[in-house]
């Protein structure tokens, strides 16, 4: 096939037009011969000239690639060529801006979007295009809070044991999942779509990951690109904090060999033995769930929204099945976790430059005690219409806050310094990006009534909900501290 396009390109180069020759020189640095031939063909066709050369090219093209885009015999061939040329040229220009001199990446993406696009993340529109989602591989930090590392590393094994997927094995995957029958039926339908002969390994991966994002508990480990989200949603006191540093999103590893999703869209096998993957569900157009569902609807040819339960965009949700190694784990006690919450908040809530740990820890103990004591007082004074179990839960939370305050007040300077030394991993975080993520995540949670109304049904103890809300919120009583402490 390469020989054919090389021969066609030699014919195209005989077109005596300086503008085309300049474009061909530009394309040679970033596109393969197949793409250059198509762009040259579209350019000449939209010009309405060089018919003899074009016919010669078409006769040489035994693959029918050129005519599959625009049949030269159509009455609207010039208009169609114009639309194709400018939409593809727009994509090429944008990728050059995005990737600069990374010509191999540009080459691969342009070829994929024009001739394949089976993941359907990109939609063509007139003379341009748009993305509903982007499944590009990016280097990020990933965070997870868990109470059982060993169990986390076993999670994907449960899925693997259910391969090949069928109705019976799907029932096993969802056996212990507390979701409605309607939601379960929908997820079965999605996963069934990933098992038909026309589907690829990519479809199966997305189907399994959607189950996890939707809150179905398909035993795939969830991560966030935001430390704050991981702390707020998934850490409940004593925990293991996992930080995977500078990992690549949207990749699949098969028998130890890694590839982006763009390199595997034709792999038909759905045997997940020897497979690990990582898929980011937060890189969505306008950060709008509607566009995430539009992509999923296109991919699985569904009519109803598929992702209806979770909030993957604001959660910066990444489903990641790669095992957790010991050097990625920070073990936190309940008190260390509380200090981390406040340190995190004080960093994301200050303007540049980012505060150092030494600056934050000057009066961190007093800061935490002041904020928790203030919330404790407000709770005791609040007139809440609680009855039965709710009253007990409220009183238990107040007792829990009392115990936490006692423990913090008893900490020595040396113990606080040990806690500070455990926080050095925070230096590895991109705080500008982290602040952006967390601000958007917390925006609807700033109102205490909203927080309690929406979060109280969680299995998490109310004590920890209140501690996290109190220490992470932005709007609060200012703590005035002398000697350069946090304000």
pLDDT tens by residue, 272-295: 667 889 999 999 999 999 999 999
14-73 pLDDT, tens digit each: 888 889 899 999 999 999 999 999 999 999 999 888 888 889 889 988 889 899 999 888
Does any domain span residue 67?
yes
Do both 279 and 368 map to the same domain? no
Range of the domain at 99: 2-115
Q: Is the pLDDT of residue 246 over 80?
A: yes
Q: How far is CA 462 from the centre of its chain?
A: 29
More confident: 478 or 321: 321
Q: Which of residues 82, 115, 148 is at a domain's end?
A: 115
Do both 198 and 325 map to the same domain? yes
Q: Does 164 sit behind a cis peptide bond, omega within 30 degrees of 0 on the bond before it?
A: yes
CB 347 within 8 A of CB 354: yes
Burial class (CB in 10 A: 0-12, 13-18, 19+), 111: middle
The total number of structural domains that make up the chain: 3
Q: Which of residues 115, 148, 178 is at a domain's end?
A: 115
Q: Is the pLDDT of residue 91 over 90?
A: yes
Q: Is the pLDDT of residue 198 over 60?
A: no
Q: Does 353 sit behind a cis peptide bond, omega within 30 degrees of 0 on the bond before it?
A: yes
Do both 305 and 380 map to the same domain? no
User: What's the confidence (pLDDT) of residue 173?
Assistant: 60
Does any domain span residue 104?
yes
Do both 184 and 314 map to the same domain? yes
pLDDT band at residue 480 under the 50/70/90 scheme: very low
Do both 10 and 159 map to the same domain? no
Query: What distances in angstroms separate CA 291 from CA 52, 305, 329, one per listed residue?
Result: 44, 10, 35
Q: Is the pLDDT of residue 154 over 90?
A: no
Does any domain span residue 120?
no
Do both 272 and 210 map to the same domain? yes
Q: Which of residues 329, 357, 378 is at a domain's end?
A: 329
Q: Is the pLDDT of residue 302 over 90?
A: no
More confident: 311 or 166: 311
The span from the CA of 461 to the CA of 394, in Å, is 10
Does any domain span residue 103?
yes
CB 70 within 8 A of CB 80: yes
Do both 284 and 192 map to the same domain? yes
């Amino acid at each position: 096939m390469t020989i054919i396009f090389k021969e066609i390109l030699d014919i195209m180069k005989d077109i005596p037009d300086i503008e085309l020759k300049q474009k061909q020189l530009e394309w040679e640095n970033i596109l393969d011969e197949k793409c250059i031939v198509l762009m040259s063909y579209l350019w000449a066709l939209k010009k309405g000239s060089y018919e003899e050369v074009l016919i010669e090219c078409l006769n040489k093209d035994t693959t029918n690639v050129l005519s599959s885009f625009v049949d030269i015999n159509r009455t609207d061939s010039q208009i169609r060529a114009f639309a194709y040329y400018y939409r593809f040229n727009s994509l090429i220009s944008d990728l050059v801006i995005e990737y600069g001199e990374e010509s191999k990446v540009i080459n691969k993406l342009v070829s994929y979007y024009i001739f394949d696009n089976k993941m359907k993340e990109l939609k063509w529109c007139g003379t341009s295009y748009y993305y509903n989602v982007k499944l590009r591989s990016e280097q990020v930090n990933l965070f997870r809070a868990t109470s059982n590392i060993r169990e986390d590393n076993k999670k994907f094994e449960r899925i693997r044991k259910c391969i090949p997927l069928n109705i019976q094995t799907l029932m096993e995957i969802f056996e212990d999942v507390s979701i409605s029958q309607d939601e379960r039926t929908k997820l079965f339908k999605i996963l069934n779509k990933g098992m038909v002969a026309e589907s690829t390994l990519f479809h199966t991966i997305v189907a399994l990951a959607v189950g996890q994002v939707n809150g179905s508990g398909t035993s795939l480990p969830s991560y966030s690109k935001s430390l704050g989200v991981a702390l707020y949603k998934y850490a409940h006191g004593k925990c293991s904090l996992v930080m995977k540093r500078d990992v690549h999103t949207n990749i699949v590893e098969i028998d130890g060999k890694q590839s982006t999703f763009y390199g595997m869209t034709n792999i038909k096998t759905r045997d997940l033995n020897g497979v690990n993957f990582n898929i980011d569900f937060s890189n969505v157009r306008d950060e709008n769930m509607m566009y995430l569902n539009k992509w999923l609807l296109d991919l699985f040819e569904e009519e109803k929204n598929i992702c209806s339960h979770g909030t993957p965009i604001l959660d910066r949700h990444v489903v990641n099945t790669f095992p957790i190694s010991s050097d990625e784990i920070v073990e936190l006690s309940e008190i260390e976790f509380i200090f981390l919450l406040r340190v995190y908040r004080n960093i994301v809530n200050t303007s540049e430059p980012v505060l150092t740990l030494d600056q934050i820890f000057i009066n961190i103990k007093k800061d935490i005690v002041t904020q928790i004591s203030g919330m404790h007082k407000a709770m005791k004074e609040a007139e809440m219409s609680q009855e039965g179990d709710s009253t007990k839960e409220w009183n238990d939370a107040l007792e829990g806050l009392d115990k936490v305050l006692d423990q913090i007040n008893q900490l020595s300077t040396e113990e606080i310094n040990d806690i500070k030394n455990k926080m050095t991993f925070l230096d590895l975080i991109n705080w500008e990006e982290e602040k952006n993520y967390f601000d958007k995540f917390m925006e609807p949670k700033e109102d205490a009534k909203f927080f309690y109304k929406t979060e109280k049904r969680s299995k998490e103890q109310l004590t920890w909900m209140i501690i996290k809300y109190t220490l992470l919120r932005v709007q609060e009583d200012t703590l005035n501290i002398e000697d350069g402490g946090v304000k």
